[in-house]
């Protein structure tokens, strides 16, 4: 079996009697063309679009280049509907929901907008520019919500993006276009801080986990912020592991998003009867393993299939390093208690991801196949390897003779779930 690693792959050789299963999404090949899928979803918004009037200013929020959504397909079709409703192209604006990410290059704007590039104005959100931000309210758990002024000053707001699992917000898409997408840095940090239970040393909220919205405090804060904006509708895609549009959900921002989340969970959650001693996980190759922060998703999901103290071999090239300049600095805290204390007093989203990684590195025996310096991999609590064969040889040293294993070829897209 070949497993992707960056732009290449490694061949895995595993005794058949050791293999419990290959964990991959239970999906088929999309039947319809992407344009047909998007058109059908937009048909559900025809009545709402019919209320748009000439002269109104429309802001379309979409994701940045780190989250492929199919925007070059759906944005032109969406704009076509708006033009048919009487909205002039000069009254439309595409706002890239960067959250706290870096600005996009012109080439990246072109990839996002597709054939609309040069026709429709496209701007990046800046979470640190107070001149771009407006205070719109406070959530029930005390988060001050500041968002991009363009959203608040528009006559109409449309949210677009893609739905997938998120390791502590439950799912991506929908309300995340507002928070963290176009929110201030302080608002982003405060909403993500909700992942921690109130009180020193109490750890992570057990409801702030992958695939769960019910009672999830991070999701709750995002929903409240989105409700303050009152978007006219959303258009969210669901992508296959090879990035083809397989479904789209459009309509009222809360209902359409929840419908899409149910659809995604039914197809990308993989039922387990038992956990294994070993999981071999590939992020799925480039760009899913471009850096440690992106690769953590596959590590998080794959760990759900592991016995306590089991071993993980993670294929994550990390050609761009860690994904953020401050991420590795957090590993000066090797004790989880001290790490949590620092995270509570100096919260960073990257610190939250680093904390989650260290939790798994201490709970399991993780062998990381990557291009990172070996001493830095060890600092993060993992064992370094340069090839899959080397990693498997290292795993053999601690695995029982009768070990069991799962293989996960697309670790960033499928969530193993124990079923009673």
CA distances (Å), 268 to each of 63, 148, 162, 240, in order? 21, 33, 14, 9
DSSP 81-105: HHHHTT--GGGEEEEEE-TTSPPPP
Beta bridge partners of 63: 97
Instruction: Tell which residue, 325, 265, 285, 233, has the closest CA to residue 412.
Output: 285
Residue 101 is among the residues annotated as catalytic for this protein: yes
Contact 298, 316 (CB under 8 A): yes
Residue 192 is among the residues annotated as catalytic for this protein: no
CA distances (Å), 37 to each of 80, 90, 274, 302, 365, in order? 15, 27, 37, 31, 43
Specify the DSSP class assigned to residue 260: H
Rounded distance between C-alpha atoms, residue 344 and residue 79, angstroms: 43
* Angle at 271 (CA atoms; ends 266, 277), nearest 5 degrees: 145
Contact 178, 225 (CB under 8 A): yes
Contact 248, 41 (CB under 8 A): yes
Pick the catalytic residue from 4, 109, 125, 166: 166
DSSP 346-407: S--HHHHHHHHHHHHHHHSEEEEESSS-HHHHHHTT-EEESSHHHHHHHHHTTS-TT--EEE
Phi and psi, residue 236, nearest 5°: -120, 135
Pick the catalytic residue from 101, 109, 257, 296: 101
Active site residues: 101, 166
């Amino acid at each position: 079996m070949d497993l992707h690693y960056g732009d290449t792959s490694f061949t895995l050789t595993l005794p058949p009697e050791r293999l419990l299963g290959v964990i991959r999404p239970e999906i088929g090949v999309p039947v319809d063309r992407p344009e047909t899928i998007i058109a059908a979803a937009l048909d559900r918004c025809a009545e709402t679009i019919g209320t748009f009037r000439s002269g109104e200013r429309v802001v379309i929020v979409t994701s940045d280049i780190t989250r492929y959504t199919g925007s070059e397909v759906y944005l032109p079709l969406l704009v076509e509907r708006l033009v048919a409703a009487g909205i002039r192209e000069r009254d439309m604006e595409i706002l890239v929901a960067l959250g706290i990410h870096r600005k996009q290059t012109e080439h990246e704007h072109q990839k996002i907008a597709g054939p609309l590039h040069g026709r429709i104005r496209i701007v990046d959100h800046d979470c640190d520019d107070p001149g771009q931000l407006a205070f719109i309210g406070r959530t029930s758990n005390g988060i001050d919500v500041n968002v991009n002024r363009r959203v608040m000053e528009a006559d109409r707001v449309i949210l677009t993006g893609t739905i997938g699992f998120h390791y502590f917000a439950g799912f991506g898409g929908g309300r995340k276009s507002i928070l963290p997408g176009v929110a201030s840095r302080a608002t982003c940090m405060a909403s993500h801080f909700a992942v921690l239970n109130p009180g020193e040393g109490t750890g992570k909220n057990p409801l702030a986990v992958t695939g769960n919205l019910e009672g999830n405090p991070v999701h709750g804060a995002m929903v409240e912020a989105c409700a303050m904006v009152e978007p006219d509708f959303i258009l969210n895609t669901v992508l296959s592991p090879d990035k083809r549009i397989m479904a789209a959900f459009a309509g009222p921002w809360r209902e359409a998003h929840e419908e899409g989340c149910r659809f995604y969970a039914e197809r990308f959650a993989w039922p387990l009867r038992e956990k294994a001693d070993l999981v071999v996980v590939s992020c799925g190759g480039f760009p899913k393993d471009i850096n440690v922060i992106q690769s953590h998703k596959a590590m998080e999901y794959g760990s759900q299939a592991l016995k306590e103290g089991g071993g993980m071999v993670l294929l994550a090239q990390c050609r761009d390093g860690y994904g953020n300049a401050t991420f590795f600095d957090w590993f000066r805290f090797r004790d989880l208690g001290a790490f949590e204390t620092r995270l509570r007093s100096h919260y960073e989203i990257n610190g939250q991801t680093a904390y989650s990684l260290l939790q798994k590195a201490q709970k399991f025996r993780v062998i990381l196949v990557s291009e990172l310096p070996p001493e830095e991999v060890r600092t993060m609590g993992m064992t370094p390897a340069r090839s899959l064969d080397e990693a498997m040889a290292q795993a053999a040293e601690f695995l029982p003779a009768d070990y069991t294993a799962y293989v996960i070829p697309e670790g960033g897209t499928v969530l193993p779930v124990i079923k009673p």
